[in-house]
Structure 1
């Protein structure tokens, strides 16, 4: 604790000194009314609309137009726009923020960072896939958000916000073609039916061939492809006098087809991978992506994602009421090839199941110009998953090996409140608290059959009962102070806590029904993980708004980390002891003229275990956490040349340099090190007058850098290779 306080004070002193020691900045904004916020982004991260430059927390926000220009078409490419966030395709989508992550993408697992769609928590992060079209913006909150968001927001929050209906008739059509047989298209139509009622319809279709390479003799479909379509219909009704109330309804549907995610062998990247110090082989892009094993089943995925969300707002004068409700379904059906732990045996693998999630939230927030800003609310979430199972054919002498879990339930209830009080015109204090109670349960079995591949209860043998039930509760809080150094520069400091509920592994507890092979509690159950965060930062604009900047320093105390690793079959999650995380994040946008824009970021991270033994003989104290490079640098430049016809020609290049980092198999303490990398992207765009249409050439990952982003018992998933092509779009 003494170290964390010292670190926070040091960062605070540095930030205040930096602000107070730049008289030119203060003079530049001395004229209060001269501050221009026209290019600022309005965000709702703190459950209220505010300018991004005035939000007293570590937050990045990227508009839908900027996402499209950068080629961010799915969650894994979000790193292009937000270099401090890492999202990988592993067993589902795995997000890492400041070294905090979760590798458990199973039906019982929870992410450490909360994925949100229009403010609604997504239980299965894979279901975010079909949402990346017709976007208003994406907000990324770094650090624990245990007060206003709460559920599984230890690392932070990624909130994808789609476009709302407007009172203007408009439409758009966009298309893309590229290598690997890439075809993408999306369209939007907005119709104001009346003065108070508007509709917005949008859809997208995305397709590309496999990014993998077939070794001689491999003729099956390879996976790592895409064949997806999605649609969304939004309706907004305004009612009451002078816009007193509004109701937004959104329905969406997406289908994920193609061969689906499919890995390559770990031997593509490492030798001696069964030891604690595997040797990185530095494969070429093609070598890293080569499938050199027999695909024993024709892979496919047939996943359906759909849901409906309603948001009701009513202005009572002194307070505003908001109700946010949603029902979402992720229906999964897929087949792939399973690679056993020694990468020498292969089997047919099926994964199917259905997750239905019900989310309800009710909030009251103050309005007006008083010294107190407050929000309080109630939250309820329930997920019910059925027939989620994995079936392995011909695995080590078994004709059939399966996990049949039915049902898997998760329930969360919370009450929360947060308030900010204006002590003076420039000084504010914030306090917040949340009480969360979580209940998790599962009924299931692990079965095998030595003679038949039919799931027949009369012939298969129950290897173990997978019944478990446990509840968890926690009070999380936030305390903060913010100070306006000038009208355009903000200093803030926050202390906050984060919490993610515990859970269970396969097996059953002694004394439970039908449990013939009980598992000890410390192996069956794992505890909640908890994080205490201390952060100070400064952000703002100066030099006539030619420079926008932010800088933050943070320190985390992290206990009972939930670490997941694949076993010979299934996945096991255990608690690590303790970890420390500290770092500095900086970013700046410099616009010396209307033609030139520079984007720069530098991020330093020191994330390591202080107490953890993955095995009795191996001490991880001092070793790095997963997905935690020491430094990440981002740089971008855009040159825009106006043309005589009123259009413009824009050239953009950006690059991300990352230090090396590790991924760990916690079952045996093996750390796989990914080397330092660079990935560079570039675009050349012609925008017609009044932005009526555009055409763009692009390249992503010009270096053709390949890293592996997740693994499962001998199988690893690889990142995208070099992509290039052209985009075009028209608005009307």
Structure 2
């Protein structure tokens, strides 16, 4: 575990430099020290990610303990009990996932490789002013290393582990002049399936493997007579191969799994990961994720102007076995997606050290998808059952501003506003065939039309105060609001063209959240201790909760909930050879008004993926060597309270019991960090949990992994 208080958004060129033990961050869209950011945030540097063996987003909870990231239809991010299980083409996450400050819309695009990363930053709580779109839970930002004009540099890292794991990444940084530099980085990750073949699998492949390669090319240039201009361009490409994700059945974890009274079976790791259903065909995935991002900045003296734009594409082509354990149905499933997103932001911010700091901007986002989900092999008596959706479009426009003013020395007040206007629409159809498995055959039957559109607008705001108790200690208090636009389910409205079977609950409303937070952070005992403490209370209304049907997913609003908690993080560095990390977090999130069915009342019940207690602790000791190198030994552990995952169709809550996961690593670091060799083990207890419930199918977390890792710098 490496946890530090920090902040989030795109980084300046020096953002990854250490400044007196602090990280320079830009949570409020301006650079500041993490210990001076009046926000509840966690961060991990690229070196910490590498030491912890973090190679993709699904493992971020190892270094950010207050965040849950689960495998479902893409990655599902939960922050302080706020989440979204709708990973379909019409759904939106509740936590905004950013890549170099640019919003990534589809959760299926988040599982790309981590390589040459500067840092990861997580903002907790609604970020309705500076971020806005789908940031009800918070923001996760992945920030790549930028090119540097300082010197030529290169590095390579390689890893081998169990499950026949091979990982390699490399980078080269080339200064072209004292004002222009380029950087190239790439990675290849591969491991066999974490699943185990049981009854009915035969010779078919299993999912939960990895076969992925990725590359990134970036350019950083300064221009103008005094280098007041800056241009940063990044192009990246990722290919995801292998068999892809594949579910197991809920029976691996529960007896009476299809009833409203499931009994947890306490399975071993191998029992939880065994596939015991008929796999009808070899799964595969052939997914491509790529895009380009450009950031331009000009310093006018008292103010600076920044432009941030990006265009991204997601091509999905995959086949898997569709699992409906509740109905005892298994079928061949194909999914195709063509998703294009366009993000544009223009903002003006103050410069200098005056009492007023402010930022104002305009934001535009447009997303368009064409999607096909086809189930074959006689599912429910149909050789062909397919959802043909497209175009599916989403457009968001916003204007925002936030200002902080120092009223008297050490006391600052902050206010911010954002106006958001969101539009969504979808055209499509559900088609079946009782005699043919060919799309477009003369015997295809149009089952229903999917035709819906919705527009939402909202003014969100933030108010806060902060005070420097001492030069090293900051206290703050904020009230902020968040909102996520409404949407629609499968079907059409009465009176719309071609609508023969209108849907009653076609639309659902925006969800809204008001958060109250107080905190204190800083350094103590001659800066030997870095600490952060925060207490919060959420008033959460119209929660968007999604439940799977036989095929498809329905989202409804869930009344009201309250969330409150306390988060603490401490880092103690008593000597230059010792470091202790400790994080203790309490969360109480429960429904106050919600009935998933007419006979089930959820008032007082806990929210999903929200353990009451999560404690992490880590210790690192460095042994200096006479040659100038060292040996670093590290151990850490995370203990999580039990939590629930709900099937909202009938109100059943599946309890996931408390668990403990520990990691260890020992590394030899050569003089001047020229190279390193390490051995590691993650999840020593071999503890496995499930996530992503849907019609009796679930996904399992990573089991125990171990291996060796080495790297070299040039």
TM-score range, shorter chain: over 0.9
Match of 1:589 in 2: 571
Match of 2:260 in 1: 276
Match of 2:5 in 1: none
| Match for residue 295 of structure 2 among 282, 300, 311 | 311
Match of 1:28 in 2: none
Q: Greater CA deviation, 208-217 or 573-582? A: 208-217
Q: 1:561-585 CA distances to partner (integer Å, 9 max, x unpaired)? A: 0001111110111110000000000
Alignment check: 8 A CA contact 2:376 2:437 kept: no
Cα distance between partner residues in 2 of 1:515 and 1:675: 46
Cα distance between partner residues in 2 of 1:52 and 1:390: 48
| Match for residue 194 of structure 1 among 157, 167, 177 | 177
| Match for residue 162 of structure 2 among 176, 179, 185 | 179
Match of 1:715 in 2: 697
Q: What are the within-5 Å matches in structure 2 for residues 48-447 of structure 1?
A: 48-167=30-149, 168-216=151-199, 218=201, 219-342=203-326, 344-447=328-431
Q: What are the within-5 Å matches in structure 2 for residues 478-489 of structure 1?
A: 478-489=462-473
| Match for residue 534 of structure 2 among 537, 552, 576 | 552
Deviation at 1:390, TM superposition (A): 3.5
Q: 1:429-454 CA distances to partner (integer Å, 9 max, x unpaired)? A: 00000000000000000110000000
Q: 1:459-478 CA distances to partner (integer Å, 9 max, x unpaired)? A: 21111100000100000000
Secondary structure, counterpart of 1:130 in structure 2: coil
TM-score, structure 1 normalization:
0.94
Between structures 1 and 2, the one with greater helix share = 1
Secondary structure, counterpart of 2:628 in structure 1: coil
| Match for residue 22 of structure 2 among 34, 40, 63 | 40
Alignment check: 8 A CA contact 1:309 1:325 kept: yes
Match of 1:686 in 2: 668
Distance 1:131 1:250, change over 3 A: farther
Match of 2:684 in 1: 702
Q: Greater CA deviation, 197-206 or 334-343? A: 334-343
Deviation at 1:542, TM superposition (A): 1.1
Q: 1:489-538 CA distances to partner (integer Å, 9 max, x unpaired)? A: 00000000000001000000011111111112xx1001000000000000
Cα distance between partner residues in 1 of 2:300 and 2:491: 52
Alignment check: 8 A CA contact 1:427 1:481 kept: yes
Cα distance between partner residues in 2 of 1:343 and 1:710: 18
Cα distance between partner residues in 2 of 1:505 and 1:131: 32
Cα distance between partner residues in 1 of 2:278 and 2:23: 51
Secondary structure, counterpart of 1:189 in structure 2: strand
Match of 1:32 in 2: none
Deviation at 1:276, TM superposition (A): 2.2
Cα distance between partner residues in 2 of 1:212 and 1:345: 20
Alignment check: 8 A CA contact 1:559 1:577 kept: yes
Deviation at 1:457, TM superposition (A): 5.6
Structure 1 runs of 4+ with >6 Å offset: none
Alignment check: 8 A CA contact 1:565 1:665 kept: yes
Cα distance between partner residues in 1 of 2:92 and 2:602: 24
Secondary structure, counterpart of 2:337 in structure 1: strand
Deviation at 1:45, TM superposition (A): 1.1
Deviation at 1:387, TM superposition (A): 3.4
Secondary structure, counterpart of 1:99 in structure 2: coil
Q: 1:684-720 CA distances to partner (integer Å, 9 max, x unpaired)? A: 0100000000001000000000100112212110000
Q: Greater CA deviation, 363-372 or 490-499? A: 363-372
Cα distance between partner residues in 2 of 1:412 and 1:342: 38
Match of 1:17 in 2: none
Alignment check: 8 A CA contact 2:611 2:641 kept: yes
Secondary structure, counterpart of 2:112 in structure 1: helix
Match of 1:26 in 2: none
Secondary structure, counterpart of 1:364 in structure 2: strand
Cα distance between partner residues in 1 of 2:263 and 2:104: 38
Q: 1:597-619 CA distances to partner (integer Å, 9 max, x unpaired)? A: 10000000000000000000000
Q: What are the within-5 Å matches in structure 2 for residues 514-529 of structure 1?
A: 514-520=498-504, 523-529=505-511
The reply on whether 1:477 has 2:478 as its aligned counterpart is: no
Secondary structure, counterpart of 2:271 in structure 1: helix
Deviation at 1:170, TM superposition (A): 0.0
Gaps of 5+ in 2: 1-17
Match of 2:483 in 1: 499
Alignment check: 8 A CA contact 1:348 1:394 kept: no
Deviation at 1:353, TM superposition (A): 1.0
The reply on whether 1:578 has 2:548 as its aligned counterpart is: no
Secondary structure, counterpart of 1:129 in structure 2: coil
Q: What are the within-5 Å matches in structure 2 for residues 534-553 of structure 1?
A: 534-553=516-535
Gaps of 5+ in 1: 1-35
Q: Greater CA deviation, 332-341 or 554-563? A: 332-341
Cα distance between partner residues in 2 of 1:392 and 1:714: 19
Secondary structure, counterpart of 1:466 in structure 2: strand
Secondary structure, counterpart of 2:35 in structure 1: helix
Alignment check: 8 A CA contact 1:445 1:465 kept: yes
Deviation at 1:392, TM superposition (A): 3.7
Deviation at 1:341, TM superposition (A): 4.6
Match of 2:621 in 1: 639
Cα distance between partner residues in 1 of 2:260 and 2:461: 39
